[in-house]
Amino acid sequence: MNFSRFVSRTALLCTIMLGMNACSNSMGNMNMSVKEPTSTAITAIAFDALFVVNGGDNSVSVINTENSTVAATIKLQNAAFPHHLYLSPDKMMKALAVPGMDLSAGHTGGMAGMMGSVMLMDAQTGATMKSRMLEAMNHNAIFSPDGKEIWTTQMMDNGTVLVLDASSLATMKTIAVGAMPAEVTFSRDGKYAFVCNGASNTVSVIDVAAKNVVKTIAVGKDPVGAWQGSNNVMYVDNEEGKSVTAIDAQTLNVVRTYNLGFTPAMAATAPNGELWITDTDNGKVVFFSLTSDAKLGELATGAGAHALAFSGDGKTAYITNQNAANVSVIDVATKKVSKTLTVGAKPNGAVWRAR
């Protein structure tokens, strides 16, 4: 775990939020905000939209994907460095994690007393429906397959997953996992949850119905997220290991390792039958085979390439470029950037929603 990188980012965050004089007295108690985060609602959208979380200026850009324009911005209050967001199964709500720490330089770190939070927002207006502070920082907040729960991690040495009621955000269950857990995601069939334990170099597999760990899988160094593939394979991006581990979501066995030579941010199975992996080191998306580790090509997008999202018809891909403060719009068939849209500072998570 890269603690020197974490400490420098933490010191910068402290200075920004508290001021230089107060910072030295606050590093031992990293409760950066005692208020629950809220949002400023926008006019209800009536178009196919891509929601982009801007970690650097605490906002969500709303892109009209029918004409490729930034149509609105949802401002967040009491929210430091919001991260990934997810839609509810009925597409009416969004769950957003606010870890309270800048993750744009990597996902390692975590410190005692550093609080995260979860926001529940209306998917059409961005209005706050509910929010809650947590005891430790988290990386994402994701709806369970039935939409009744929100799952999020607590990034501690003795890491846990919190299962929250999707209406009240009350804790329903606490599940022990590995050290410094980052993202929690679900298999395509909804049977298992996958939790990446960054400091343990493992993935905890949780039976969603029983809510207990059924297997712990060794992967590469510093795993961050297990991304759901359309082929019922989970693709784990190992940041410091510079690799992606492919896990069969039915047998729970590792079926392949992609040794990349660059830091991956996210992986996704594209509509054209390829595995797309963002290369955050070089500002690219790299294309691989789904059945072997063969590299098929690459495309330059922007500095700090991060999240991947596809339109509902599979014709268009979107990549957030954290260090370029923009989103690349890609024609999937030609693998060319058709447009670049300026959004907020340090865009990270993105999700597409039909009108």
**Alpha-helical regions (H) of the chain:** 3-18, 20-26
Alpha-carbon distances of 311 from 51, 182, 223, 285, 315, rounded to whole Å: 12, 26, 27, 17, 7
Domains of the chain: 1-25+46-146 (2.130.10.10)
Residue 24's pLDDT is 34
Over the stretch 51-110, which tens digit does the pLDDT of each residue have? 999 999 999 999 999 999 999 999 999 999 999 999 999 999 999 999 998 887 765 555
The Cα–Cα gap between 156 and 231 comes to: 32
The Cα–Cα gap between 352 and 268 comes to: 14
Task: Copy the structure tokens of residue 96.
Answer: 């957003």
Region of poorest pLDDT, from 105-109, 225-229, 232-236, 267-271: 105-109
Alpha-carbon distances of 106 from 2, 127, 264, 292, rounded to whole Å: 9, 29, 10, 27
Output the average pLDDT for the chain. 90
Task: Copy the structure tokens of residue 301.
Answer: 């997008």
Q: Give the chain's end-to-end CA distance (angstroms, integer).
A: 42
Task: Copy the structure tokens of residue 253.
Answer: 């066995």
Over the stretch 14-51, which tens digit does the pLDDT of each residue have? 433 333 333 333 333 344 446 899 999 999 999 999 99
Please write down the long-range contacts of 25-29, taking CB distance under 8 Å and 24 or more positions apart.
28/113, 29/113
SS3 243: strand
Over the stretch 274-323, which tens digit does the pLDDT of each residue have? 999 999 999 999 999 999 999 999 999 999 999 999 999 999 999 999 99
pTM of the model: 0.90
